[in-house]
Structure 1
Amino acid sequence: MKNKSWRFLCLLLGLCVCVTSCNFGGTAQTDPPSAQEEEKGGQTTEIIVPGGKEEDSKEDKEKTEEKKEDEKKTQSKPFWQSETSMHYENLTAVAAAAQQDYRVNGPKRGWMSKNGKLYGYYDGCYITPSMLVKEGYLQSGLDTKGYEILLIDGDDLAQYDGANVPSGSRKFCVFAAVKQNNKYLLASADGKAGQISQANYTALLAKYNQSHGTVGRLSSASAEYGRILNYIGLYEGRFEDLAVREIRKDNKYACVVFSGRSNTANIKQYILKNDNGFWEVVYPNVQMDAYPINAINKLVPDFNVEVLPKYNLAAWKTLVKAEQGGAVAALFSNYLISTKAEIAYQCATSNCAYFRLTDGSRCVAYSNGEYWTAARVNSDIAAKNYFMERTGVDYSFIILDD
């Protein structure tokens, strides 16, 4: 009986071990959904395995981005060398800023081409990128070391090998240049303008050389004085007797200030050029230009503006008179004339007057705002000094040249 009970107990224990083993095996093979998955409403969460699908995707994206960047670099390569792309962009920015500043402020500030470079006559210096930054026309932070700002005719630049001037810049306008590997890279506000050799760059600027010898006043006794007046007569189509105020010149250009004897208030100013001994008018009626330095420079960029007189006739054109009654009365009061017939020439403003009498003597008159006084002088220079002492202004344009 005891043996039977023992055998039954052993059999029962064996069955329990078997059932338990079967349950453990099932758990290892098929796990039930986790609590988190049940809370998500039965949605399964993908298990990310190192080296699996996502990392492969990141590598593909990086390769694609690298490929696009390489293609972009290839497409943006400048027409000269890739390492000059920064210069090209900066040159264009500088040229555009200078062109805008020149257009807006250039005339009143006397901006001009001086030996091919952009120069401020009243500033007394060449224009630089740093000046454009200060005036708000150019952004700060650009690398512009060694940059030069030119004011030239684009057609002149286009003649040299390596130049590629945009059609919109084939005129008198601003360019920027920088030396790179013994060549000069150039651009205008319209973009790249090419690269030229250092020798050609020097030759280009030489076309705008303004040094043509000593500047001085031409003597009325010289033969050249008469020749210049003859060419003015040919240009005007009439040979009226001219009342010349002065002729200033160098070895290439001359500036003549004159009027006809019949109307001394109609003062004109002409620029003439000497071509192998023959003078021709290249810029008439300067007296109409409010900003003559800038205006003349656009058409005759190698003209030395020091040939111009210091006064601006445009500012006086409505103030000059062919006759000044108060001044004439002062001549009578000071017993300088006894009849108006003795006056061979007169020209005046509201407070200054100059006279040449029939006997060749010279007289001046001045008004302090209340009354006129008159005096005799020995020369046109003495007359100029007489007015300068009283007014601080150059009245040479009313004084007849000796």
Structure 2
Amino acid sequence: MKNKNWRFLCLLLSLMFCVSGCNFGGSSQTDTPSAQEKENGQTTEIIVPGGKEDKTEEEEDKEKTEEKDDKKPQSKPFWQSETSMHYENLTAVAAAAQQDYRINGPKRGWMSKNGKLYGYYDGCYITPAMLVKEGYLQSGLNTTGYEILLIDGDDLARYDGANVPSGGRKFCVFAAVKQNNKYLLACADGKAGQISQSDYTALLARYNQSHGTVGRLSSASAEYGRILNYIGLYEGKFENLFVREIRKDNKYASVTFSTASNSANIKQYILKNDDGFWEVVYPNVQMDAYPINAINKLVPDFNVEVLPKYNLAAWRNMVKTEQGGAVAALFSNHLISSKSEIAYQCATASCAYFRLSDGSRCVAYMNGEYWTATRVDSDIAAKNYFMERTGVDYSFIILDD
């Protein structure tokens, strides 16, 4: 009986062991594929709630594409891209024009005309195409509708939307283009912001050079005397002046003169009319080799047509208070009998002008090796006399009537 019980107990324990071993083995297969399964390329995968799910090839490809798209930089809206392109091109144009202006501007008479970059001797506004042609700007840029300005950056900075770089807070070149009823602007140092169309118009109006009819002021007018008085105040002395001419519009005047004690020391001043009072705003133009460019930098709304056509700097050290050969011609032509009859004279190496004590006027011209002299009726007649023989405007030696 004991042996039967013992055998039953052993059988029961054996069955329990087998059941336990089967459960253990099943658990191992679920976690790790067997060696044989690996060799056959087959694996068993557990699917649990919330875990990885089987996907079709199409779904996996879509997921990979979306992952790649997430890594790409997001494209900007079209108008932002266009604005960025314009600012880059505007900066390139402004930098090229600024360099050309600095190198060639003075001798070519480049100036601000009503706020835009203008070539006085070229007779036209400067364009991006001209900069490309001259090698200062690369070709291929889209510059349609671009305008090149020559203004003071501080003037631009007054308007809402402007953000002028520190390097542009001076009189320099800007480029502008209209976009969505606003104007984008940039200088050589980068973008300068955007302003409304009305503000853009107001900005350029600050450089308006149309101040009425340009003409020569009569020496008989009261304003003529007032202008000379203001020059005396500026120089701090009241001395008799030999005036060649005063040209003016309704805002500015140019005065060419010398002192009575030295007719060869010819000066030229620019004056501004401020509510009936004249003040000197640019003295000693005669020292500037390129007066159009030089004056424009300091007085950009000055109409250069107020200036005489001659350039006094080109005649420095060539003007004389007395020309012996011309005086001898006056004697030989019986125009004077004594040097004391000469109240005024001014001359160059080939031309001379005289005002005699009786008010008559004489001109002398060196024709070949000899001087000839004759009387003329007026300062205009004297100017024409020299122009016909030399093709040069000698008004700077001719005393104003």
Q: Which TM-score band (shorter chain)?
A: 0.7 to 0.9
CA distance 1:153–1:65, change in 2 (3 Å): farther
Cα distance in 1 for partners of 2:71, 2:364 equals: 83
**Residue number in structure 2 paired with 1:342:** 341
Q: Counterpart amino acid of 1:96? A: A
Cα distance in 2 for partners of 1:210, 1:83 equals: 34
Work out whether 1:190 is the aligned partner of 2:189: yes
Work out whether 1:70 is the aligned partner of 2:73: yes
**Residue number in structure 1 paired with 2:235:** 236
TM-score, length basis structure 1: 0.83
CA distance 1:190–1:30, change in 2 (3 Å): closer
Give me the identity figure in percent. Answer: 86
**Residue number in structure 1 paired with 2:147:** 148
Deviations for 1:350-370, whole angstroms, at most 9, x for unmatched residues?
000000011111000000230
CA distance 1:326–1:67, change in 2 (3 Å): farther
TM-score, length basis structure 2: 0.83
1:356/1:362 contact within 8 Å kept:
yes
Deviations for 1:4-63, whole angstroms, at most 9, x for unmatched residues?
xxxxxxxxxxxxxxxxxxxxxxxxx999xxxxxxxxxxxxxxxxxxx8xxx99xx96x76
Map 1:48-127 to 2 at 5 A.
66-70=69-73, 81-127=80-126
Q: Secondary structure at the match of 2:173?
A: strand
Cα distance in 1 for partners of 2:303, 2:372 equals: 39
Q: CA deviation at 1:317?
A: 1.1
**Residue number in structure 1 paired with 2:219:** 220
1:351/1:369 contact within 8 Å kept:
no
**Residue number in structure 2 paired with 1:388:** 387
CA distance 1:30–1:315, change in 2 (3 Å): closer
Q: CA deviation at 1:371?
A: 0.5
Cα distance in 2 for partners of 1:246, 1:130 equals: 40
Deviations for 1:199-239, whole angstroms, at most 9, x for unmatched residues?
00000000000000000000000000000000000000111
Work out whether 1:210 is the aligned partner of 2:213: no
Cα distance in 2 for partners of 1:188, 1:331 equals: 60
CA distance 1:65–1:293, change in 2 (3 Å): farther
Work out whether 1:313 is the aligned partner of 2:312: yes
Cα distance in 2 for partners of 1:322, 1:300 equals: 32
CA distance 1:182–1:336, change in 2 (3 Å): same
CA distance 1:107–1:361, change in 2 (3 Å): same
**Residue number in structure 1 paired with 2:132:** 133
CA distance 1:231–1:370, change in 2 (3 Å): same
Cα distance in 1 for partners of 2:247, 2:68 equals: 69
Q: CA deviation at 1:70?
A: 1.1
Q: Counterpart amino acid of 2:243? A: V
Cα distance in 2 for partners of 1:143, 1:101 equals: 20
**Residue number in structure 1 paired with 2:277:** 278
Cα distance in 2 for partners of 1:65, 1:163 equals: 40
**Residue number in structure 2 paired with 1:200:** 199
Cα distance in 2 for partners of 1:67, 1:235 equals: 73
Q: CA deviation at 1:378?
A: 0.7
CA distance 1:219–1:65, change in 2 (3 Å): farther
Cα distance in 2 for partners of 1:306, 1:279 equals: 19
RMSD across aligned positions (CA):
2.2
**Residue number in structure 2 paired with 1:373:** 372
Cα distance in 2 for partners of 1:138, 1:103 equals: 15
1:355/1:364 contact within 8 Å kept:
yes
CA distance 1:64–1:315, change in 2 (3 Å): farther
Q: Counterpart amino acid of 2:233? A: L
Q: Secondary structure at the match of 2:318?
A: coil
Q: Secondary structure at the match of 1:70?
A: coil
**Residue number in structure 2 paired with 1:21:** none
Q: Counterpart amino acid of 2:261? A: S
Q: CA deviation at 1:81?
A: 3.4
Q: CA deviation at 1:67?
A: 4.2
Q: CA deviation at 1:84?
A: 0.8
Cα distance in 1 for partners of 2:321, 2:236 equals: 23
Q: Secondary structure at the match of 1:81?
A: helix
- Long gaps (5+) in structure 2: 1-37, 41-56
**Residue number in structure 2 paired with 1:325:** 324
Q: Counterpart amino acid of 1:278? A: F
Cα distance in 2 for partners of 1:63, 1:317 equals: 78
**Residue number in structure 2 paired with 1:8:** none
**Residue number in structure 2 paired with 1:170:** 169
Deviations for 1:270-304, whole angstroms, at most 9, x for unmatched residues?
00000000000000000000000000000000000
CA distance 1:325–1:85, change in 2 (3 Å): same
Cα distance in 2 for partners of 1:174, 1:188 equals: 6
Cα distance in 1 for partners of 2:143, 2:71 equals: 31
Q: Counterpart amino acid of 2:123? A: G
Q: CA deviation at 1:318?
A: 1.3
Q: Counterpart amino acid of 1:70? A: P
Q: Counterpart amino acid of 2:372? A: T
